[in-house]
Structure 1
Amino acid sequence: MQIQKILVPVGVVLLLVVAYREYSWAGVAMALSLVVTWILLHFTRMLQVMKRATNRPIGSVASAVMLNAKLKPGVTLLHVVAMTKSLGLLQSPKDSQPEFYRWTDGTQSHVTCEFKDGKLVQWTLERPVQPDTDSPVSGA
């Protein structure tokens, strides 16, 4: 179980208890307004990321190589969608763990990301094999 699922609610309850003990009901009202503001900020960020992602095809990215360079273990799926400005193309069965998403660029290079509980675990960059065009031309 993720520690955040426990710590965030416990932190909110502790904030409310301390606010009540120090400032009575006015403190509780202020603490609740801070919690609601925090929730609304996260919700607004999520909506902005999704709004930007609606303008691009699913699974597309400007450069798979640049995406590969920017990825770090532990970032959330929402963060990766914000970086790519596109929803990833789901490669794994729906509602199964881990989840695999793929982003492809115009050169058919693609990055496949593995997410466990919404956090990036690992990723692979695959580039298409290009024919060798630098070979010297033999002439007579």
Structure 2
Amino acid sequence: MNQKLGLALALAALLAGGVFFGWQGVIFALTGVVFWLLMQFSRLMRVMRMAKDAPIGHVDSAVMLNAKLKVGMRLLEVLPLARSLGRKTASEPETFVWTDPGEVSVEVVLEQGRVTHWTLQRPETGQD
């Protein structure tokens, strides 16, 4: 969700709770906002716990990761697909690489926290 939209919804809930139910409504709305934040934190921790056991930049199948990627995905959505953290190769734009045991790699480029494009790179074969 867009950060500005989330903030606007939280403020609207607090305002509506205060207008319609007084201080009890504000407390109820605040409880809902805190619950939503805890759910987001829990999701992040679950993804990081899953990725912690795999080597950085390793993926079981780069071709399958390539097939599942979509433009606009956030890094938090890419990590469960790869099941590991990517090896960061550039900061501007953010670029991460995952490589499989067959030396096939996927390079994912993110701008403003979202996937803009990616490339599948296969190793060169020795055949001429």
Work out whether residues 97 and 117 of structure 1, in 8 Å CA contact, stay in contact via their aligned partners in 2: no
Q: Percent identity?
A: 39
Larger CA Rg, structure 1 vs 2 = 1
TM-score (normalised: structure 1):
0.86
1:14 CA drift (Å): 1.1
1:118 CA drift (Å): 1.2
Structure 1's unaligned 5+ residue stretches are: 133-140
Residue 56 of structure 2: aligned partner: 58
Q: Secondary structure at the match of 2:71?
A: coil
Work out whether residues 76 and 120 of structure 1, in 8 Å CA contact, stay in contact via their aligned partners in 2: yes
* One-letter identity of the residue aligned with 2:66: N
CA distance in 1 between partners of 2:97 and 2:66 (Å) = 12
Q: CA RMSD in A?
A: 1.4
Residue 122 of structure 2: aligned partner: 127
Q: 1:43 aligns with which of 41, 46, 51?
A: 41
Residue 79 of structure 1: aligned partner: 77
Residue 104 of structure 2: aligned partner: 109
* One-letter identity of the residue aligned with 2:59: V
Residue 23 of structure 1: aligned partner: 21
TM-score (normalised: structure 2):
0.93
Work out whether residues 74 and 120 of structure 1, in 8 Å CA contact, stay in contact via their aligned partners in 2: yes
Structure 2's unaligned 5+ residue stretches are: none
Residue 32 of structure 2: aligned partner: 34
Residue 135 of structure 1: aligned partner: none
